Amino acid sequence: MKKIALFCAVAGVALGVMAGDGLKFKFSSSGDTYADGSAVQNGEVYALVWVKSGASFAGFNADGTLVDAVNNSLEAVSVAQGGGCIPTVFIVDDEKPAGEYFMYLLDTRVAVADAEGNVTKTATGLVDGKITVVSEAIEVEDPSFSLAGTASSSVDGENAAVVAGVVDPGTVAQPVVSGFTLTADGGAVLTVSGTVPYVQYTVYGGTAPNAIGGKPLATFLNGKTTGDLELKVSDVDGNKFFKVATK
């Protein structure tokens, strides 16, 4: 994390000189990609995270909360436009203990299906100003930063590090199959309630309750904050029993 160390060194010096003055920093980025190499989508989320000195960044939970909310804190969020983070100003809290700042691109994309069953991955972004889905947090490779009102500078860095979103099983309720319909073409549609957007769901089948397993029968789709999720099985293929499971 060479670039982060350089960024934090500059920020640390500024804090030492200007503590108590409501120090304002501006951060931005350009040419960013997700871990899979695809360009960042407009509306995607960037997070500026503070890490207490001596601690490490523990990552995000899949629901958008921090894994370690004691030694890490979310200082600011911003959004992507045109392939990078728009210029964003944040005010340094001079009452915080010594620490460092890290800039992350969050992958909030969810798999959703349209009425025809076509699946796309779309950034959830901020929902009512909050992060609700995180599949990965990618350290921004070359952030630009400056004191607000001055010219920005870019910090050279090493390859970005990727931290996978952590799913806490205690926050994921058991999904409920509230509807099951066989289709004329030999498939089936399962209506599922009680899902969450930061987890993906699919269907498994079997000829008996104790024989359910094998390959997933439906495309993995993210759950929903409200409403039901429909999982479509194109071919039941002799299966008589079905189970909805998470990825």
Per-residue pLDDT reduced to its tens digit, 137-177: 998 877 777 666 555 444 433 444 566 777 777 778 888 88
Residues 206 and 160 in one domain: no
Average pLDDT of the segment spanning 77-103: 85
Q: pLDDT band at residue 238, thresholds of 50, 70 and 90?
A: confident
| pLDDT exceeds 90 at position 218 | yes
Return the exposure string of 23-41: e unless at least 16 CB atoms fall within 10 Å of the residue's CB, then b.
Answer: bebbbbbeebebbeeeebb
Show which of 164, 181, 199 is a domain's final residue. 164
Indicate if the pLDDT at residue 1 is higher than 70.
Answer: no
The pTM is what? 0.74
Exposure string of 201-240, with b = 16+ CB inside 10 Å and e = fewer, is: bbbbbbeeeeebeeebbbbebbbbeeeebbbbbeebeebe
125 and 69 within one domain: yes
Q: Please tell me whether residues 152 and 188 are part of one structural domain.
A: no
- Does 36 share its domain with 99? yes
DSSP E strands in 97-173: the ranges are 99-107, 109-113, 119-123, 126-127, 130-131, 136-139, 144-147, 153-154, 162-164
The per-residue pLDDT for 104 is: 92
Which tokens in the block code for residue 217? 């029968």
Domain assignment of residue 190, given as a range: 172-246
pLDDT at residue number 6: 30
Q: How does the average pLDDT of the chain come out, rounded?
A: 81
What count of other Cβ atoms lies within 10 Å of the Cβ of residue 154? 13
Contact, 197 vs 222, CB < 8 A? yes
% of the chain with per-residue pLDDT over 70: 83
Comparing 11 with 87, the larger pLDDT belongs to: 87
Residues 181 and 76 in one domain: no
The first and second tokens of residue 149, run together, are 């009102």
Instruction: Indicate if 182 and 113 belong to the same structural domain.
Output: no
- What confidence score (pLDDT) does residue 13 get? 28
As a whole number, mean pLDDT of residues 74-98 equals 86
Q: How many domains does the chain divide into?
A: 2
Q: Contact at 8 Å (CB) between 125 and 45?
A: yes
